[in-house]
């Protein structure tokens, strides 16, 4: 029979360009957010996190922006490289003080050389 | 390498069987989480332990159980396996209950 899978949003960029991956989260009470990168056959890899008392946080080549007004999170990757090709997930803490992460469906990023 | 280890990497078994998945958290991490990732459901939280005690439950079936041992490693037991249990099972760990979770490489379970 036909397999049913998640239809992931996809983003295709050229090597060297900047990438922006967006995420709409569901719980207005969520106070902590994480971006993960998952390559095929591997576990999710922590990229960057942000708490709700901030609206921007920068890491190495990555920036996370948080807009609590519209419940929106974005991940910006500067100078995207072929090794950045993966599925990117945002996760929000929906468990209050005892963190329980709820993951989005993910975005497939493809970097073209 | 996140520092979280999981065994086995692959597991193939038959319907009705029982399996045990094992996870060792990063050194110093007290909290362990289990997740299931399937094609149609995405990444789903199953259960969390902190320093040996169950802290939170997610979408975990009654046929599934877990525990965290005094040395902080954790095991996820899956019984009366069904075809639909075929998935990737990930363990994650964190220092405490309100910090970033780091994931292991996963166990791919195939139920035939």
State pLDDT tens for residues A67-92: 999 999 999 999 999 999 999 999 99
Per-residue pLDDT tens over the stretch B58-75: 889 999 999 999 999 999
- B53 contacts chain A (CB < 8 A): no
Residue with the larger pLDDT of the pair B18 and A100: B18
A98–B104 CB contact, under 8 Å: no
State the Cα–Cα distance between residues B72 and B31, nearest whole angstrom.
8
Q: Which residues of B touch A34 (CB under 8 A)?
A: 100-101
| Cβ separation A44–B90 shorter than 8 A | yes
| Mean pLDDT value of segment A47-59 | 95
Rounded to 5°, the CA angle A99-A21-B44 comes to: 35
Cα distances (Å, whole numbers) of residue A110 to A66, A83, B108: 24, 9, 24
pLDDT at residue A105, rounded to an integer: 87
Name the band, by pLDDT with cuts 50, 70 and 90, for residue A34.
very high
Say yes or no to pLDDT of A40 above 80.
yes
CB contact under 8 A, B97 and A45: no
Say how far apart CA A111 and CA A84 lie, in whole Å: 7
Give me the residue from A4, A43, A49 closest to B90, CB to CB. Answer: A43
CB-based contact B90 A6, cutoff 8 Å: no
CA-based nearest residue in chain A for residue B102: A46
B36-52 residue pLDDT tens = 999 877 899 999 999 99
The three-point CA angle A25-A26-A31 to 5° equals 70
- Count how many pairs of residues, chain A against chain B, have C-beta atoms within 8 Å: 62
- Between CA A108 and CA B53 the distance in angstroms is 36
Instruction: Read off the tokens for A73.
Output: 């999170």
State how far the Cα of B4 lies from the Cα of A13, in Å rounded to an integer. Answer: 32
- Provide φ and ψ at A92, rounded to 5°: -120, 150
Question: Is the CB of residue B80 less than 8 Å from the CB of residue B27?
Answer: no
Interface contact B104, partner A, CB < 8 A: yes
Separation of alpha carbons A24 and A51, rounded Å: 16
């Amino acid at each position: 029979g036909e397999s049913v899978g998640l239809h992931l949003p996809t983003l295709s960029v050229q090597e060297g360009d900047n990438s922006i991956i967006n995420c709409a989260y569901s719980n207005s009470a969520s106070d902590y957010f994480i971006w993960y990168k998952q390559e095929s056959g591997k576990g999710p890899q922590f990229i960057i996190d942000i708490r709700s008392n901030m609206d921007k946080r920068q890491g190495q080549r990555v920036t996370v922006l948080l807009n609590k007004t519209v419940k929106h999170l974005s991940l910006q990757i500067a100078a995207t490289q072929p090794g950045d090709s993966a599925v990117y997930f945002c996760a929000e803490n929906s468990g209050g003080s005892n963190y329980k992460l709820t993951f989005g469906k993910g975005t497939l990023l493809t970097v073209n050389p | 390498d996140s520092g979280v280890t999981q065994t086995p990497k692959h597991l193939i078994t038959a319907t009705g069987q029982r399996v045990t998945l094992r996870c060792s958290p990063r050194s110093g991490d007290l909290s362990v989480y289990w997740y299931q990732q399937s094609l149609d459901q995405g990444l789903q939280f199953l259960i969390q332990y902190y320093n040996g005690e169950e802290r939170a439950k997610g979408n975990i079936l009654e046929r599934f159980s877990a525990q965290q041992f005094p040395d902080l490693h954790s095991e996820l037991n899956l019984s009366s396996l069904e075809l639909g249990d075929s998935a990737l099972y990930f363990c994650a760990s964190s220092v405490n209950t309100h910090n970033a979770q780091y994931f292991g490489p996963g166990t791919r379970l195939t139920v035939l």
